[in-house]
Amino acid sequence: MAPASTRRTSPAPGTVRVGISGWRYPGWRGDFYPRGLVQRHELRYAADLFTSIEINGTFYSLQRPTSFATWRAETPDDFVFAAKGGRFITHMKKLSDIDGPLATFFAQGLLGLGRKLGPVLWQLPPNLGFLPDRLADFFALLPRSTYAAAELARRHDGRLSEDRTVLEADADRPVRHALEVRHPSFATAAVRDLLREHDIALVVADTAGRWPLLEEPTSSSLMYVRLHGDVELYTSGYTDEALDRWADKVRRWRDDGRDVFVYFDNDVKVRAPYDALALMRRLGLGDKAAADPAQAPSPNATRRGADDPADQPPTM
């Protein structure tokens, strides 16, 4: 047996969270969401089945602090959200001259999620290629803790009135970031090296071959997976065989010590929630592994803070 000083130790396994990309889809009503379920209860219904959900509304526009407070109240204590970075930063400004907009993004109320704030997803547009200096400058601006996010938020650009901001964090927690790319120039070792240098997760995005599928870990602690459909983008469901393959990958990343967040975005034909539940069953995710929409909470059940949150446009 090797001496204790030379023996290799395996990292502690990471945690796995599986969910959906957004939750406000009219086409899901009467299918995944039972008939008669009040619209303002849809988040609560979904959160009782999944362990995480992406907030997509933050991509399209700034949200209100009251919405974040409602989402926090409407979800279980151990629930975690991912928040999608604003398209004004990624698609319009293309990561250039964004000090004020980035501060405003974090000022809008994200910190009101408290311990339920998980990774922040930054999705780049297909027409933005790899610009190493611009990307490095962007990474350097990103806050890596909630206290740092609060400090950044206090420098917001003035677009938000005082009652539209949350500028303090209730505790100091890590803030992790993930980058989803959609240009072939990102499929290089230089990209992976840059992301590793800044400890940013490169999103594993299954897009039916439309954009690069990059699976190599770049963050020391995070794997972020978005499953948009493997045959038809945003539309096709995943077969049992495909889900088995993804489950194997998730286990491998988890066993390497990384937390794994998986979101299904194949929502057009209401496949996302069912595929997410099927993957959870394969991964044995606690009590929710056996979840069945038919056994979800009553549509008339109430939870404190059940205000109607801001509506969300379709996901991307």
Q: What's the CATH number where 135 sits?
A: 3.20.20.410
Mean pLDDT of the residues in the chain: 90
Residue 122 belongs to what domain range?
16-295
Per the CB < 8 A criterion, the answer to whether 74 and 48 are in contact is no
Tens of pLDDT, residues 246-300? 999 999 999 999 999 999 999 988 999 999 999 999 999 966 655 455 444 433 3
> What pLDDT was estimated at residue 117?
99
Cα distances from 97 to residues 108, 110, 198, in angstroms, run 19, 22, 20
CA 104 to each of CA 60, 100, 161: distance values in angstroms, whole numbers, following the listed order: 14, 6, 11
Q: Is the CB of residue 205 less than 8 Å from the CB of residue 226?
A: yes
Return the minimum-mean-pLDDT range out of 10-19, 121-130, 167-176: 10-19
Structure-block tokens of residue 20? 């959906």
Amino acid identity of residue 198, one-letter, is: H
Q: pLDDT at position 292, please? A: 52
Q: Please choose, from the candidates 296, 289, 294, the residue with its C-alpha nearest in 3D space to the C-alpha of residue 16.
A: 289
Burial class (CB in 10 A: 0-12, 13-18, 19+), 132: exposed
- Sign for the pseudo-dihedral over CA of 40, 44, 50, 52: positive
Strand locations in the chain (E): 16-21, 52-55, 80-84, 117-123, 177-180, 201-202, 204-206, 222-227, 259-264
pLDDT of residue 11: 86
Q: What DSSP string describes 260-301?
A: EEEEE--TTTT-HHHHHHHHHHHHT-GGGGG--GGGSPPTT-
3-state secondary structure of 251: helix
Nearest to 140, CA basis, from 101, 86, 100, 99: 99
**12-45 in b/e burial notation, b at 16+ Cβ within 10 A?**
eebebbbbbbbbbbeebbeebbeeebeeebbbbb
Q: Tens digits of per-residue pLDDT, 83-120?
A: 999 999 999 999 999 999 999 999 999 999 999 999 99
Number of domains into which the chain is organized: 1
Yes or no: say if 247 and 281 are a contact pair by the CB < 8 Å rule.
no
Cβ 86 vs Cβ 59: under 8 Å: yes
Work out the number of other CB atoms within 10 angstroms of the CB of residue 117: 23
- Within a domain: 148: yes
